[in-house]
Amino acid sequence: MESLLIKGGVPLHGEVNVSGAKNAVLPILAATLLTSEPCVIHGVPELSDVGFMGEILKSLGAEVRQEGDTITVRAAKVKGVGDYDLIRKMRGSICILGPLLGRLHRARVSLPGGCIIGPRPIDLHLKGLRELGARITIEEGYVRACAPRLAGTDIFLGGRVGPTVLGTANLMMAAVLAEGVTTIQSAACEPEVVDLADFLNAMGARISGLGSPTLTITGVSELHGVEHRVIPDRIEAATYAIAAAATHGEVTLLGARPDHMHAVLDKLREAGVKVERRGTALTIRRGGRLKPVDVTTLPYAGFPTDVQAQMMALMTLTPGISIITERIFESRFMHVSELTRLGADISIEGPSAIVKGGRPLSGAPVMASDLRASAALVIGGLAAKGATQVKRIYHLDRGYERLDDKLRKLGARVERVEES
Ligand code: EPZ
């Protein structure tokens, strides 16, 4: 198994290209199941999760071809049942349920497995699909759904902590081929949901209210093939921005969408980080001394939960007290004990982490537990004195394209090593 060996203390300098968004490309790949015609998707990042989704589409009978960052999918014929283990392994694959039901009016998809960042039920997905007319049962670890007819209706999709991203995606993909009009209230407004809706509309769907909590979907009888470029990954961009600030560096993010990153950029400015926009280039520069800031994760356009861990790593380096509150995933603090191993001073009080920052970090062997926690450990290692070994970096490869290459181009002393 591979790990990342980081020799810290080097300010990051230079330009980095932002890759396509993982959380846009996964539901977009699922949406290709809605037509028998070829769909060509550009800007696809080279990630293990994308590879998994490709295997899942193949297990459903689709042809999948990748050339560089372009994937072509042709789902001429599809089965309603996919590979149990593949689907169970990757939570994001639950978003094949909506398109399969939309196209075939039946689907059998394995229940997503547990997740270390918190219980991730799909009750809202199932509630919405039932309201569209699907009969749904859970049997032998599968969600079994069938609907002689899908009929448009008003659906409220708000949950315990607000909207659901993949739940909104699933409902949209089931409703585009349903009879009549569906409205989704308390829909997720994430840019990745908008990118999926743009893709569906380009296929011939009729969705309005994109980016707002109310989506209106007028069903159509069929969808056609399309060519589409995925939006850039705002979470990857935010990760490099925070790494630049943590290492006293200056990094230009090429191809970023600053208009998708307001909450993160606002918090960085509040902490004293210099943020400069030139066209689609975003330059992040560590100004002088950082100031502690409080952060609460919220649904979009609030501060993203997928940047919480990285921001915590930055606050461990910042003299003073900052409070980081996680409102989306209860137990998304797996990175705390490992940042503490690097010398950070963090205590947990309910949904909040109290960070007493400013103590220099020193390198140590640490263990990655999930995708974003591992990004925080990399940032801690880049800022720490001495060497840090981040183990189980397969977590990173799920969501960061060629992270070690990109960091090396920015001057970091990073290498992939076999775990000892
Ligand atoms: C998406 O997950 C992202 N994954 C996550 O990114 C991201 O953290 C999350 O949205 C929130 O922004 C992908 O897009 C593949 P949710 P999703 O349904 O859709 C509760 C990463 O690091 N909920 O919006 O699964 C749920 O438990 C990943 O890239 C219900 O209660 O998240 C959570 O507390 C991690 N019932 C909250 O809603 C439901 O039926 C938000 O979850 C569905 C969700």
Alpha carbon 164 to chain centroid distance? Answer: 13
Distance, in Å, from the CA atom of 252 to the CA atom of 18, rounded to the nearest integer, reads: 10
Q: Which atom of ligand 1 is nearest to the CA of 329?
A: 34
The residue-averaged pLDDT of 307-336 equals 97
The residue-averaged pLDDT of 256-285 equals 96
Q: Which residues line ligand 1 (CB under 6 A)?
A: 23, 26, 91-92, 120-125, 159-161, 164-167, 305-306, 328-329, 371-372, 399
| For helices 308-316 and 234-246, angle between their N-to-C axes, nearest 10 degrees | 0
113 pLDDT exceeds 80? no
Give Dmax over CA atoms of the chain in angstroms: 63
Q: Which atom of ligand 1 is nearest to the CA of 26?
A: 15
- Say which residues have a Cβ less than 8 Å from residue 137's Cβ, sequence separation at least 6: 143, 144
DSSP, collapsed to helix, strand or coil, labels residue 221 as coil
The residue-averaged pLDDT of 372-396 equals 97
Q: Which helix (H) or strand (E) holds 151?
A: none
Q: Which of 39, 95, 115, 189 is catalytic?
A: 115
**Mean of per-residue pLDDT scores for the chain:** 96
Mutate to test the pocket of ligand 1, among 166, 196, 260, 261 (most ligand atoms within 8 A of CB): 166
The answer to whether 95 is a known catalytic residue is no
- Termini Cα distance of the chain: 9
Q: Looking at 189-239, which runs of residues are DSSP E strands?
A: 206-208, 215-218, 226-229
115 pLDDT exceeds 80? no
Distance, in Å, from the CA atom of 27 to the CA atom of 102, rounded to the nearest integer, reads: 14
Residue of higher predicted confidence among 289 and 243:
243
Distance, in Å, from the CA atom of 93 to the CA atom of 53, rounded to the nearest integer, reads: 7
Confidence of residue 114 (pLDDT cuts 50, 70, 90): low
The structure tokens 């398109």 sit at 99
pTM over 0.95: yes
Task: Please tell me the predicted confidence (pLDDT) of residue 390.
Answer: 97
The residue-averaged pLDDT of 325-352 equals 97
Distance 2 CA to ligand 1 centre (A): 28
| For helices 371-383 and 308-316, angle between their N-to-C axes, nearest 10 degrees | 20
49 pLDDT exceeds 90? yes
Task: Please tell me the predicted confidence (pLDDT) of residue 243.
Answer: 98
34 pLDDT exceeds 80? yes
Distance 163 CA to ligand 1 centre (A): 9
93 pLDDT exceeds 70? yes
Confidence of residue 30 (pLDDT cuts 50, 70, 90): very high
Please write the tens of the pLDDT for every residue from 137-187: 999 889 999 999 999 999 999 999 999 999 999 999 999 999 999 999 999
